[in-house]
A and B are shown apart, each in its own frame.
Chain A
């Protein structure tokens, strides 16, 4: 039997074509498999009363991760975020963090937990040795206390002690010019409220020694009605009031105090006012409340910061929160550290993170630093200003001085027995 060549495409060339086709379809997959994705786990609070903590943190992380991935990923590996709800329960936070590492194969952790949850995740990091960056917990002891120190955990968050030093010196300057001697305080009754208020008054008295605290109120966390607190303060007739109420508590307090025209009778210093979560929710935002900056796109007054705030608003149709900038900064740190270490390995990134200074829209001078000795964020924009009822809400913010912060922080650490 003679083989005749049929016209058309031969079997061999068909096979070759099919092979080439398969190659061209598969090539990106093969390439992607080589540059294996790196999973980053993130336990955070996505449900309940402070769900905004988790959602605004998640938004910011995703915004930054997209940029990092578009630029080639973490040392060439695309980032895949695995973000889970801990419901704000420390045992769940620990469980979720362990599961993210042990089951889901996450190689790094971003810890978006507040307060006790962050300490629970910290213990998981201690146990598993995985690189962990805390992005929401402001409790100073998390990094200041040497007992907490582990080589694989960092904190990319503002701190209560920094806020108190800047707030104390700012308030003292105003107290001196306006002659405010009689002060009242009103803060939530839990560790954050008590510690922050104590530290604020400590520094206020240090810079303005003739200040006297004549009334203290400690409403419960998430208290719905502040009538008795407001009337107690009005009866004491202070010249100024300090409060570290935050979020929904602060907004309901202001709405209720407005009825008694409290804000026309005294100067009010509310450290957590200048955050869009509070500014945009209060019904009648009084003019002239003094506040620390949480996140505000007009401070620092740089085009980079404004652009970042606008990009976030454009994507999520709401303004970022204090937690947003902190989480975004953590991703920026990861990207830079991976670049410096030329690796996505947790241990190498941890080494690179120590003392690393990066360009950042939220830096006081356009940069922020991960301090090497206690693995905590410094150099971020921190300042105080007064409110107006419409955008930009806090038109002028007076920046705090990091030199003073460092001096007093070192003193404070010594007094606590941390150094």
Chain B
């Protein structure tokens, strides 16, 4: 806590109370969302729907973590996919080579990602805008090339083969489709809740201040570099959670997970869903996967359809879907009050 914050702590008490209330509301929403998702297998036998939600969990965690950088901090990373790939590979390799219980591999993967992200972030977050974007992209290509050329360890361009072993733990058997589904939902909800807390905390508001005016934040005594580095590492950790869900889903890890196209999809998801609302990327994920899954059923020219959709969002709405809806509500409310 800075001196400034300490001085204002007394006057901030009612605000803190409001924040606590907000937190309880978030937890309640998270619990309800989890209950709804977890009870889904009771109502439907559709494995495709469960697969869809598992993929939504992987991409949703990834895209929302990217939004911590893009939307909240103003750091447009073009290389965020490297942490998605890193999560998938670390988890897969640990499970294949060491045969430890899944929770151990899970925590170890988060730790490995955090260390690597701290090193990469320490170099990247000194840079701004296009320079930041391109250096993150360069690191992504470095990691992708390493995966390709270190074939004896990573399996090269053929990926981690032979399946990822999924021994049961605490009565949870991730080789079972429904168990995997519930575990993915739990990870998604926990991840989203944690990211929501980060976004709504004083730290989260510091991020917004840095985004809006880094010089001002610096003059207020905030260590901008350290704050950016912290959020870079946090975002990487959540992205690697997404990567682990994907690795479990496909029972393998492939170099494509660490390729720039994954980062591109993350940015596209954020554009679709919107970056100024917390759940924007989640909405974007559902939209993109729905579009992808339906369009590829009917045509191999899905690129044209997706291109038209991008144009519609970029030129028509000029913002993501959830941003558009949120603004529309605000305008309606304001108009109502004006009357």
Contact = CB atoms under 8 A, between A and B. Distances in A.
Nearest to B159: A116
A116 B255 contact: yes
A103 B47 contact: yes
A147 B250 contact: no
A190 B148 contact: yes
Given A98-B48, A120-B250, A126-B251, A90 B256 contact: yes
A116 B254 contact: yes
Interface string B157-186: 111011100000000000000000000000
B47 A102 contact: yes
B97 to A, nearest CB: 13
A46 B156 CA distance: 24
Interface core residue of B51, B156, B249, B256 (most chain A CB under 10 Å)? B256
A29 B145 CA distance: 56
B250 A191 contact: no
Nearest to A99: B48
A195 to B, nearest CB: 9
A238 to B, nearest CB: 25
A83 B163 CA distance: 25
B297 interface: yes
Contact of B250 (A47, A91, A145): A91
B91 to A, nearest CB: 15
B156 A190 contact: yes
Contact of B252 (A89, A115, A119): A119
A123 interface: yes
Nearest to A126: B163
B302 A85 contact: yes
B273 to A, nearest CB: 20
A89 B256 contact: yes
B254 A90 contact: yes
A127 B251 contact: yes
Contacts of A126: 163, 251
A348 interface: no
B55 A191 contact: no
Nearest to B259: A89
Interface in B81-133: none
B151 interface: yes
Interface string B297-325: 10011110000000000000000000000
B252 A47 contact: no
Contacts of B151: 191, 194
A141 interface: yes
Interface string A90-102: 1110111011001
B308 to A, nearest CB: 16
A188 to B, nearest CB: 10
B254 A91 contact: yes
A89 B265 CA distance: 13
A340 interface: no
A84 B296 contact: yes
A191 B163 contact: no
Contact of A85 (B55, B158, B250, B296): B296
A148 interface: yes
A116 B155 CA distance: 10
Contacts of A145: 161-162
Contact of B300 (A47, A123, A191): A47
Contacts of B249: 91, 94
A148 B161 contact: yes
B161 A141 contact: yes
Query: For the complex, would chain A's binding face be called helix, strand, loop or mixed by DSSP majority?
Result: helix
Interface string B139-154: 0000000001001000
Given A116-B158, A120-B250, A85 B300 contact: yes
Interface in B223-270: 246, 249-252, 254-257, 261
Contacts of A51: 300
Interface core residue of A54, A147, A191 (most chain B CB under 10 Å)? A191
Contact of A123 (B252, B261, B301): B252
Given A90-B252, A90-B254, A95-B55, A191 B158 contact: yes
Given A120-B254, A148-B162, A191-B151, A115 B157 contact: yes
A79 interface: no
Contact of A98 (B51, B156, B159): B51
Contact of A116 (B51, B157, B251): B157
Nearest to B161: A119
B256 A123 contact: no
A254 interface: no
B46 interface: yes
Contacts of A148: 161-162
Nearest to B55: A95
A123 B248 CA distance: 11
A139 interface: yes
Nearest to B253: A90
A126 B252 CA distance: 12
Nearest to B292: A92
Contact of A119 (B158, B261, B300, B301): B158
Interface in A143-168: 145, 147-148
18 contacts: A47-B303, A51-B300, A90-B256, A91-B55, A94-B249, A95-B51, A95-B55, A102-B47, A102-B51, A115-B157, A115-B158, A116-B157, A116-B158, A120-B250, A191-B151, A191-B158, A192-B157, A194-B151
Interface of B: 46-48, 51, 55, 148, 151, 156-159, 161-163, 246, 249-252, 254-257, 261, 293, 296-297, 300-303
Q: Give 9 closest A-B pairs by Cβ, nearest first.
A: A46-B300, A102-B47, A90-B254, A191-B156, A103-B48, A123-B251, A94-B250, A85-B300, A147-B162
Given A85-B300, A98-B47, A102-B48, 15 more contacts: A84-B296, A90-B250, A90-B256, A91-B256, A94-B250, A95-B55, A98-B51, A119-B254, A122-B161, A123-B250, A126-B163, A141-B161, A145-B161, A190-B148, A194-B151
